[in-house]
Structure 1
Amino acid sequence: MPKRPDRPDRLPHEKGFHVSWDQIHRDSRALAWRLDGHGPNDGAWKAVVAITRGGMAPAMIVARELDIRTVDTVSVKSYDHQKQAEATILKAPDAIMMGDGTGILIVDDLVDSGKTLELVRTLYPKAHFATVYAKPKGRAMVDTFITEVSQDTWIFFPWDMALQYVEPYRGKD
């Protein structure tokens, strides 16, 4: 959605992709179906680890669909509002469960530059990394994803949005 000079309140991003709760649910289920039977333990996964915060909803859906009862989180900060920053680990999952990552499914909503997944992959090199959405710069860091979007697309997730009145494009009536 290009910024209009007569509407300075428009989003500054070249393109916006709005994802509803229904859409993230459908796409997360599709991710689960793609991962089903591909774990190293006769097709099963040992655990799901969500990358907080965006990976929590997709990870919950994947864990439910694949009947995985062990769920943990890894907290990584890589954004300061909408600006990317250096990725740092704020909280790691259970070390005994994780090992080198074998049998662990690490889930996030999106791989953008790949810096978050690169950092987590250094800790758990044998884990399987899955995201719902992938951008070209980070695509090499993810093992499984559902939808690729262009690098200049900003994805608006439902947990970042609120319903509110929007003025018509033209006129006030």
Structure 2
Amino acid sequence: MSNPNQKSFPVTWDQFHRDSRALAWRLASVGPFDAVVAIARGGLVPAAIVARELNIRTVETVACKSYDHQNQSGIKVLKEISQPVLDLARNGGKVLIVDDLVDTGNTARVVRDMLPGAHFATVYAKPKGRDMVDTFITEVSQDTWIFFPWDLDVAYVAPISGGTD
């Protein structure tokens, strides 16, 4: 987070687990699903929670890299979706794609192209990418940086008033 005007949205493990279960709850009426594809790395945790809650036994991953911390660039696919899951989708199976967040929608667009008929779900969505997903739980503004629990460490924070007590 390099912009001092950027908002921050820290998410604890408890909150993320609740939000991921809420996502599963919403998806229950859309399923059943034959497979879930997690977009690594951020989608791994919510996909595992959703797979458990919806009793989805086929869990696959796709790995994409869209930016380093300074430059957004084209999407590079680091790990493709396995052929059995692609075949399942082509033969009428119902596939769910899960990610933690849709930001600009660039990664979502690439993965959607791989599985055009899949249902796409994220825990959080920003306005630029919101139209790329079918189901999400919480929308945050485009200028909000979400700090996921795996990005955080427990540390002392000074009181707002500046005092020490």
**What is the TM-score when the length of structure 2 is the normalising length?**
0.89
- Superposed CA RMSD: 1.9
Aligned to 1:157: 148
2:92 maps to 1:92? no
Q: Give the superposition deviation at 1:123.
A: 1.1
Q: Which runs of 5+ in 1 are unaligned?
A: 1-9
1:59 and 2:47 equivalent? yes
Residue 60 (structure 2) aligns with: 72
Shift of 1:99: 3.0
Query: What is the CA–CA distance in structure 2 between the aligned matches of 1:11 and 1:115, rounded to whole Å?
Result: 21
- Return the alpha-carbon distance in structure 1 between the equivalents of residues 104 and 3 of structure 2: 21
2:27 aligned to which of 24, 35, 42: 35
Shift of 1:165: 2.6
Task: Quote the residue 1:117 is aligned against.
Answer: 108
The whole-number CA distance in structure 1 between the counterparts of 2:85 and 2:39 is 16
Percent identical: 63
Richer in helix (by share): 2
What does residue 7 of structure 1 align with?
A: none
1:94 is displaced (CA, Å) by 1.2
State the distance in 1 between where 2:49 and 2:103 align: 21
Q: What is the CA distance between 1:106 and its match in structure 2? A: 0.5
8 A contact 1:98–1:124 mirrored in 2: yes
Q: Aligned to 1:105, which of 96, 105, 126?
A: 96
Q: Name segments (4+ residues, structure 1) moved above 6 Å.
A: none
Q: What's the offset of the Cα at 1:11? A: 6.6
Relative to structure 1, the CA distance from residue 130 to residue 137 in structure 2 (aligned partners, 3 Å threshold; closer, same or farther) is: same
Number of residue pairs the alignment of both structures matches: 160
Q: Is the 8 A contact 2:60 2:85 kept in 1?
A: no
Residues 100 and 125, structure 1, Cα contact 8 Å, conserved in 2: no
| Letter aligned with residue 19 of structure 1 | V
Amino acid at match of 1:136: P
How much does 1:79 deviate?
2.3
User: 1:11-65 deviations in whole A, cap 9, x for unaligned?
Assistant: 73521011111111111111101011313xxxx1011111011111100100000
Secondary structure, counterpart of 2:36 in structure 1: strand
Which has the higher mean CA deviation after the structures are superposed, 85-94 or 10-19?
10-19
Q: What TM-score, normalized by structure 1, do the two folds share?
A: 0.85
Cα distance change on mapping 1:167 and 1:156 into 2, 3 Å = same
